[in-house]
Amino acid sequence: MVNGLQSEVEVITLFVDDIASSKAFYARVFTAETIWEDANSSVLKFGGLLVNLLAASQAPMLVEPLPVGPSSAGARALLTIRVADVDAVCSGLRAIGVELLNGPIDRPWGRRTAAFADPSGHVWEIAQLIGRT
């Protein structure tokens, strides 16, 4: 650890293409509390972690001189949430119209997983602890 740099992740900011559709998706899929919102962002509380949905048009000032990549570039990260029963969560996701990218799949590293994407292509994985195969 670099001197003064804490190891606790506080906020993950996701650059989204359409803030309204992203807010609607996250409200439908997650039970996270919205702790801040304006025309360009929505900050959701996931336990001790904050997820900031930020309109991609507002992102350049945060990452310059790097460009903000388009959502069409493909998956660049995977955000994982541990759940008790992947199959039950998958049933619930399908019931509200969320399309799974893959799964449920038993992985050799001891997890049963399934993945889905938000409207801007950010990939979320749900994972259940199982024995190693």
Q: What is the mean pLDDT of the chain?
A: 92
For 69-111, write each residue's pLDDT tens digit: 998 998 888 999 999 999 999 999 999 999 999 999 999 999 9
Residue 52 predicted with pLDDT over 60:
yes
pTM: 0.87
pLDDT for 4 beyond 70 = no
- Coil, strand or helix: which one is 105? strand
Tell me 109's DSSP state: T
Domains in the chain, CATH or no CATH each: 1-69 (3.10.180.10), 71-133 (3.10.180.10)
Provide the H-helix boundaries in the chain.
19-29, 60-63, 86-95
The pair of three-digit structure tokens given for residue 111, joined into one six-digit string = 């997890």
- CA atoms of 9 and 3, how far apart (whole Å): 16
Confidence of residue 9 (pLDDT cuts 50, 70, 90): confident
